[in-house]
Chains A and B, each alone.
Chain A
Amino acid sequence: MVKKTVSRCYLTVIFLFLYLPILVLIVLSFNDSKSRVLWGGFTLKWYFSCFRDETIMSALTMTLKITVASAVLSTLIGTLAAIGISAMKKNHRAVMLGATNIPLLNADIVTGISLMLLFVRFTNLGFVTVLIAHITFNIPYVILNVLPKINQANRYTYEAALDLGASPLYAFYKITWPEIKSGVFSGFLMAVTMSLDDFSITFFTKGAGVNTLSTMLYTELRKGIRPELYALSTLLFLLAFSLLLVMNYQSDRELRHHPTVIRRSK
């Protein structure tokens, strides 16, 4: 009984440690005063000025553009690559997977710098370079989500469909796609979260005019904290909450009680 109480207390303490900072941000976003400690009444004005703020809104649009474009492209390239890799001989496959591990294992700062060193030799830094960088670190996550699905799938059904006269595209759509669909979907979602959260790699590969939310926040935080950022935090927390609910629901249907583990480095 005592053990149970101690356990529950411990859970509560860690829970508070994790959520208190977020709670403070949410409360302050409704605070009608610039003070960080005094409550000046309820207001929504920070939300309105947040939506009217040029810096915040352009960073938000840029983030969405890069996230969607890089997630879609990396899912496409990564899924095709996973299908190709699964058909390779053992040692070719090992080489491909080894190369795939490089961006996963390398520190973000080193990946970012090495891409920047390459880009500046050929072109100016800007939207395209950030996009290429994001696709580069997203593809491995897609491959690692799709490859197990392909390996689980029965490879002979696809062959059989071809032998019975189905076109490769039709056979893919009817046979392979249903088996790898969930892997492709979770790879896509993971690419989205990686892109949304990345700072270091974007920081080194962006040009002067391009800012995503993370790099914009970095610049803002070095200047000071504006109340509009509280409102932005609250909105983004709600977004993360709903995104993860969807992901959790998705993985719950496949594998109960084993939320996806992912590695991210800062």
Chain B
Amino acid sequence: MRRLMRQLLAGPYIVWIIGFILLPVAVILYYAFTSDTGGFTLENIAAIADPVHVKSIVLSLKLGFSCTLVCLLLAYPLAMILSSFKFRHQSFVVFLFILPMWMNFMLRILSWRLLLSNNGLINTFLERAGIGHVKMLNTPASVVFGMVYDFLPFMILPIYNSMARIKDDIIEAAKDLGASHLTILVKIIVPLTLSGIISGIIMVFVPTLTSFVISDLLGGGKVLLIGNVIEQEFMQGTNWNLGSGLSVVLMIFVIASMALMNIFDKDGGAAVW
């Protein structure tokens, strides 16, 4: 009886789940599988094979991979250094490296637009140094740059957390048994931080794959990711069915990439969180 009463407390949330979590998914699936006249169709899903859409999916995957790779390469050594150094205020130093994540991300994009623009600080500096003008804003590279800046802390944090949990004794034991630095890294540190690496990859790859704002503001409308195509179908075009179809495909891509990552994570404990 008491147990039942307690369960009833979840009532409002159950209503919420049905109304605002499950129903919206049902609605987007409905739009995705119907034409504007209401009949069943697979056209909206098949539209992903359209060369324009293929191009944007490929570009999204390419930028997503490069961004994730750069973040991983930058974050892994950083996490190692952060956890190996015995700072007096270690948690404060870690805090400093994740603080930018808490600033509104639109403002972080603003600052990069400022730095990269044609008459911005970096170009002024390059001109004074005699290197000359470099066009940086509105290129795919500037989009990757902005993404790396935005998502780097998401890679640092999970890797650092799993790194900090490795006991010094294990490393000491390996050293005593004659392991080289490389062996220790490959045989001990990397396997023990694998779940952190995987969380980091998911936390960076999924947002980069689905982002549309960064490419819009740093790519100047010239870099069309799949997110931009979907956004335009809803905000500029009127083909909501097509937009829903592409969203469902995007959803499948996200779920597939997570499932793929979970296969690599043998612990099964990779909290996405």
A241–B95 CA distance with the chains assembled, in angstroms:
10
User: Given A83-B6, A84-B10, A225-B110, A102 and B21 touching (CB < 8 A)?
Assistant: yes
Contact in complex: A84, B121 (CB < 8 Å): no
Are B27 and A248 interface neighbours, CB within 8 A? no
Verify if B136 is at the interface (C-beta below 8 Å from A).
no
Given A22-B111, A233-B110: A110 touches B9 (CB 8 Å cut-off): no
Decide if A103 is an interface residue (CB 8 Å cutoff): yes
Is there an interface contact between B110 and A229, defined as CB atoms closer than 8 Å?
yes
> B31 contacts A117, CB within 8 Å?
yes
Q: Which of B175-189 contact A (CB under 8 A)?
A: none
A14 contacts B74, C-beta separation under 8 Å: yes
Given contact pairs A261-B157, A263-B203, A266-B213, A109 touches B250 in the complex (Cβ within 8 A): yes
Residue of B nearest to A11 (CB): B81
Interface size on A, residues (CB 8 A): 90
A interface, CB within 8 angstroms of B: 7, 10-11, 14-15, 17-22, 24-25, 28, 36-37, 77-78, 80-81, 83-88, 96, 99-100, 102-111, 113-118, 121, 132-133, 135-136, 139, 143-144, 159, 162, 168, 193, 196-197, 199-200, 204, 213-214, 217-218, 221-222, 225, 229, 232-233, 236-237, 240-241, 243-244, 248, 252, 256-259, 261-266
B41 at the interface (CB under 8 A from A): no
Binding site for A on B (CB under 8 A): 2-3, 5-14, 16-17, 20-25, 27-28, 31, 74, 77-78, 81-82, 84-85, 90-92, 94-100, 102-115, 117, 119-121, 124, 149-150, 152-154, 157-158, 161, 164, 199, 202-203, 206-207, 209-214, 216-217, 227, 230-231, 234, 240, 243-244, 247, 250-251, 254-255, 258, 271-273
A84→B6 contact, CB < 8 A: yes
Subset of 9 A-B contacts with CB under 8 Å: A14-B97, A25-B114, A77-B13, A99-B21, A102-B22, A107-B206, A109-B231, A144-B273, A199-B213
**Is the CB–CB distance between A110 and B247 below 8 Å?**
yes
- Closest Cβ of chain A to B133, distance in Å, is 14
Nearest CB in chain A to that of B253: its residue: A107
Residues in B with CB closer than 8 Å to A28 are: 114
Asked if B106 and A199 make an inter-chain contact with CB atoms under 8 angstroms apart, the answer reads yes
Closest to B106 in A: A217
Question: A17 to B97, alpha carbons, bound, how many Å?
Answer: 10
Given A109-B212, A113-B243, A258-B164, do A244 and B102 touch, yes or no (CB 8 Å)? yes
Alpha-carbon separation in the docked complex, A83 to B214 (Å): 39
**Partner of A121 from B17, B27, B244 at Cβ < 8 Å:** B27
Residues of B within 8 A of A116 (CB): 234
Q: Collect the chain B residues with CB atoms within 8 Å of residue A214's CB.
A: 104-106
B31 vs chain A, min Cβ distance (A): 6
Interface centre among B105, B106, B109 (most CB of A within 10 A): B106
Minimum CB–CB distance for A82 against chain B, Å: 8
CB distance from B244 to the nearest CB of A (A): 7
Q: By CB atoms of chain B within 10 A, which of A77, A88, A263 has the most? A: A263
Name which residue of chain B comes closest to A14, CB basis. B78
* Cross-chain contact of A18 among B5, B94, B97 (Cβ < 8 A): B97
Q: Please state if A263 and B273 are interface contacts (CB–CB under 8 Å).
A: yes
**Residue pair A236, B20 in contact (C-beta under 8 Å):** no
- Asked whether B22 lies within 8 Å of A25 as measured between CB atoms, the reply is no
The distance from the CB of A155 to the nearest CB of chain B, in whole angstroms, is 10
B78 cross-chain contacts in A, Cβ below 8 A:
10-11, 14
